[in-house]
Amino acid sequence: MSWTISADLIPGLARGAAVLGTGGGGDPYIGGLLAAQALRLHGDVTVVSLQEVPDDALVLTVAMMGAPTVMVEKLPSLDEVIAPVHALSASLGRAVTHIACAEVGGVNSTIPIAAAAALGLPLVDGDGMGRAFPELQMVLPTLYGINASPLAFSDEKGNVGVLNTVSNGWTERIARVACVEMGCSVMISGFAMSGSQAREALVADSLSLSYEIGSGIEAAREAKTDPVAETVRLLGGREFFAGKIVDVHRATTTGFARGRARITADDATLELLFQNENLIAEIDGHPVVTTPDLIIVLEHDSGEPITTEGLRYGQRVRVISAPSDERWHSAEALDMVGPGYFGYDTAAYRFDGSVEAVESSGESAA
């Protein structure tokens, strides 16, 4: 079940990860450059399935934290990518055995590849979300009681910090303000897990799925078939809107890229609300899909995924939705990543347009 990432797989992997990243995670092309460079310097990376990870493994996630608008402007060096892993390993007093992705998304799927290559470690075929979310506690391991901390963070200047916090929410709060002060983009490593914890808490096979989607888009283009339809098929999702972007508001505040985009068709208008990732899609004022399900914007003809910082006036796009990992639909999970957490006053809508049946635990029926 293990396979090998060589430099020629990077474009497909990065493209597919950007699809699953629902607009977040930064430009897949830029993240791909760093991974390809690492593979050329240090050799290919072995990807192992979650089943193959020994129970007593030490699995760490590696990610870039910050606003994608800033991430793409200051891509880290390989030294910076591995600095938090070394700091965390020293703090734990144990050698790391496996690297994992915290989320699927452009930069945050390719940076762990670069880290695994530079460290000579295998990469786990899985991630903490099966998509991308803006805050670091928003991973399935949090729901399994796995601590984000000790969590290490580092910047391009050489500043490094290690946090030990009382909750994953506090890890996010302290790391976020440090991240903003350090220039709105830092490298982080945390969520130390054993192999058995990783098997339970991560989303399996998400790197494989990323490559399947990314190479599927490429293959559809070459076969002159529809890459968007191929993506919908692979995700088990649906295409629910097509139109032209007529308005984009975006601001980088408190470490996030927040904003909204308006997309018009002949007879309807789609409003897309995002915070690093696409979170809410409303047609003519009515929500149709919301976080935690996936809202993905693809270029109309090429099917190329468009990140939230890549949204531009005049782009012709198609918007698809897809189911998230079913564990994101529990009451506890919806409290953490549902529309209400992000301040949107709406129920959660599934990818097929149905309203979430689960009561939020915060307002459970008496």
Q: Contacts with its own copies in 129-158 (CB under 8 A)?
A: 157-158
Minimal distance, residue 87 CB to its own copies, in Å:
8
Q: Is 281 left (phi over 0), alpha (psi -120 to 50) or beta?
A: beta
Q: Is 243 helix (H, G, I), strand (E, B) or coil?
A: strand
Whole-Å CA distances, 4 to 157, 203, 234: 33, 19, 22
Structure-block tokens of residue 362: 């915060």
Rule CB under 8 A: choose which of 170, 200, 271, 352 binds its own copies. 170
DSSP 91-126: HHTS---EEEESS-SHHHHHHHHHHHHHHT--EEEE
20 or 83, CB closer to its own copies? Answer: 83
Q: Which position among 56, 95, 166, 222 is part of the footprint of its own copies (CB under 8 A)?
A: 166
- CB nearer to its own copies: pick between 167 and 361: 167
Work out which of 173, 238, 260, 327 binds its own copies, going by CB under 8 A: 173
Minimum CB separation from its own copies for residue 81, in Å?
17
How near is the Cβ of 300 to its own copies at its closest, in Å?
Answer: 42
Q: Using CB under 8 A, which of 161, 244, 341, 360 touches its own copies?
A: 161
Task: For residues 121 and 43, give the distance between their C-alpha atoms in angstroms, rounded to a whole number.
Answer: 11
For its own copies, the binding residue among 17, 123, 178, 322 (CB under 8 A) is: 178
Binding of its own copies by 164 (CB under 8 A): yes
The least CB distance from residue 194 to its own copies, in Å, is: 22
32 token code pair: 């791909």
Distance from C-alpha of 17 to C-alpha of 235, rounded to nearest angstrom? 12
CB of 252 to its own copies, least distance (A): 17
Kindly report the three-state secondary structure assignment for every residue of 119-136.
Answer: HCCCEEEEECCCCCCCCC
Least Å from the CB of residue 146 to its own copies: 17
What torsion, rounded to 10 degrees, do the Cα atoms 142, 144, 149, 154 define?
-50
Kindly state the smallest distance separating residue 163's Cβ from its own copies, in Å.
Answer: 5
Q: Both tokens of residue 323?
A: 């189911």
164/225 with CB nearer its own copies: 164
Is 27 within 8 Å of 35 (Cβ atoms)?
A: no
At closest approach, how far in Å is the CB of 165 from its own copies? 5
From 30, 33, 160, 347, residue interacting with its own copies (rule: CB under 8 A): 160
Residue 180 binding its own copies, by CB under 8 A: yes
Check binding of 224 to its own copies (CB under 8 A): no
Give the distance between the most distant pair of CA atoms in the chain: 61
Cα–Cα distance for residue pair 310/135, rounded to 1 Å: 20
Q: Which of 155, 309 has the CB closer to its own copies?
A: 155
Nearest to 281 by CA among 331, 242, 227: 242
84-123 residues near its own copies, rule: CB under 8 A = 87, 91
Q: Does the protein bind its own copies through residue 162 (CB under 8 A)?
A: yes
Q: Where in 330-349 is the site for its own copies (CB under 8 A)?
A: none
Closest-CA residue to 34 (of 106, 139, 135): 106
Interface with its own copies: number of residues (CB under 8 A): 21
Interface stretch with its own copies, choices 56-64, 119-127, 179-187, 193-201 (CB under 8 A): 179-187
Establish if 159 lies at the interface with its own copies (CB under 8 A).
yes
Q: Is the dihedral of CA 105, 110, 111, 115 positive or negative?
A: positive
Q: Does 184 bind its own copies (CB under 8 A)?
A: no
C-alpha pair distances (Å), 201 with each of 16, 55, 191, 196: 22, 13, 11, 9
Structure tokens at 291: 């976080």
Residues 58-87 that bind its own copies (CB under 8 A): 87
| Interface residue list for its own copies (CB under 8 A) | 87, 91, 157-166, 170, 173-174, 176-178, 180-182
